[in-house]
Structure 1
Amino acid sequence: MMRRLALGALLACACMGAQAHRFHAGITDISFNPGTGSIEVVHTYMAHDIEALLANLYQRQFDLSDPQDEAVLRKYVDKQFYLLAADKSRLPLRWVGVSTNVESVVIYQEIEKTPLASAVRVHDEVLSDFLPDQVNTVNVNHGGKIGTLTFDRSKTEQQLP
């Protein structure tokens, strides 16, 4: 009886682990840094999702500490995420870098010497082209006032709050 109970508990834990990653989400924070006069963009994604995306696109494993592999991720993010000015032109997002751990991939970008008011729309398709249920949340900090947008496969571009 004790053996069955232990086996049942083990199976329950295993099932919970299998369901732990049933959702796919990313968070992006956009803010203005008055010290540098730049718009700062910080994206956070689940490491497993980024690894699966890159492996699917290029049929190999990636090491994001390798500059060549980081460049592949950069090319993808530059295509899938951008900010638009009032004239619908893309604002020049500069790749600052990436940090990784076993749980997440954090990507840093900025638009140098540009006020946040210059950005009027955001386009976010990161991972939603690969994962049908991907949901990306974009938080925009306007001097302490936070506005939030939600993106998915059917909603890829919106006006900034």
Structure 2
Amino acid sequence: MKKHDSRHMLKSLLLGLVFWAGWGAAPAAAHSFFFGITDMAVNPGSKHIEIIHQFTAHDIENAIAKQRQTHFSPEHKNYEAWIRQLFEQGFSIREQQQALPLNWIGLEVVRGKIFVYQEGPAKNFLSGLVVKNTLLVDTYPEQINTLNYQDNDVSGSLTFTQLHKIAKIESNN
């Protein structure tokens, strides 16, 4: 084989590998599953409702960037404020047609996930509460949000989607 032919073959092989690697990495950069998990429980000591939301950070950031037409990342001066606003608008609890006030505890970003912490008023039970969860379901039609709940008498899960945004916690009895 001539020296020129081997260089040409090596160059073609390298270009092919670069193209293949780039093409193969593109699907890995995006994901096709959009989900959020919320855990809600009554603290046995304080009796307060404790809520922990977990979402993919870039899904939250992209939704806010799209909504506000700006670049949005952890370095943004309004990072926590805008995420707080998103959660306060998209997640609520009602009892007998009355909204329960949810206190914002804070958020943290850990390994590509955003954890949001909220706390509700003292309750001995979750049964009968109506939960609205519209977080990201209008931005990502494939978004599925799961709420896991537990107190001394009731435990279970609720699922929220673009078509199902409100659900009631029913007694296990």
The amino acid that maps onto 1:115 is N
The structure that has the greater radius of gyration is: 2
Cα gap change, 1:76/1:50 in structure 2, threshold over 3 Å: closer, same or farther? same
- Tell me if the contact between 1:24 and 1:134 (Cα under 8 Å) persists in the aligned partners: yes
For residue 71 of structure 2, the aligned residue among 57, 61, 69 is 61
Contact 1:128 1:134 in 2 (8 A): yes
Tell me the CA shift for residue 101 of structure 1.
3.1
- TM-score relative to the length of structure 2: 0.78
Letter in 1 for 2:79: D
Pick closer, same or farther for the CA change 1:10–1:59 going to 2, 3 Å: same
- 2:141 is equivalent to residue 121 of structure 1: no
Find out whether 1:149 has 2:149 as its counterpart: no
Aligned partners of 2:119, 2:75: CA distance in 1, in Å? Answer: 20
Are residues 66 and 48 of structure 1, via their aligned partners in 2, closer, same or farther at CA, if it must alter by over 3 Å?
Answer: closer
**3-state secondary structure, aligned to 2:79:** helix
Q: Which runs of 5+ in 2 are unaligned?
A: 1-8
| Number of equivalenced pairs | 158
Contact 1:91 1:119 in 2 (8 A): no
Give the C-alpha shift of residue 38 in structure 1.
0.5
Partner Cα distance (2:29, 2:106) in 1: 31
Q: Which amino acid aligns with 1:151?
A: F
* Higher mean C-alpha deviation, range 128-137 or range 109-118: 109-118
CA contact (8 A) 1:83 1:119 kept: no
Give 5+ residue unaligned stretches, structure 1.
none
> 1:136 is matched with which residue?
145
CA RMSD for the aligned pairs?
2.7
56-65 or 100-109, larger mean C-alpha shift: 56-65
Q: CA deviation at 1:11?
A: 5.5
Alpha-carbon distance in structure 1 between the residues aligned to 2:71 and 2:33: 22
Q: Displacement of 1:118 after TM fit?
A: 6.7
How far residue 150 of structure 1 moved from its aligned partner, in angstroms, is: 0.8
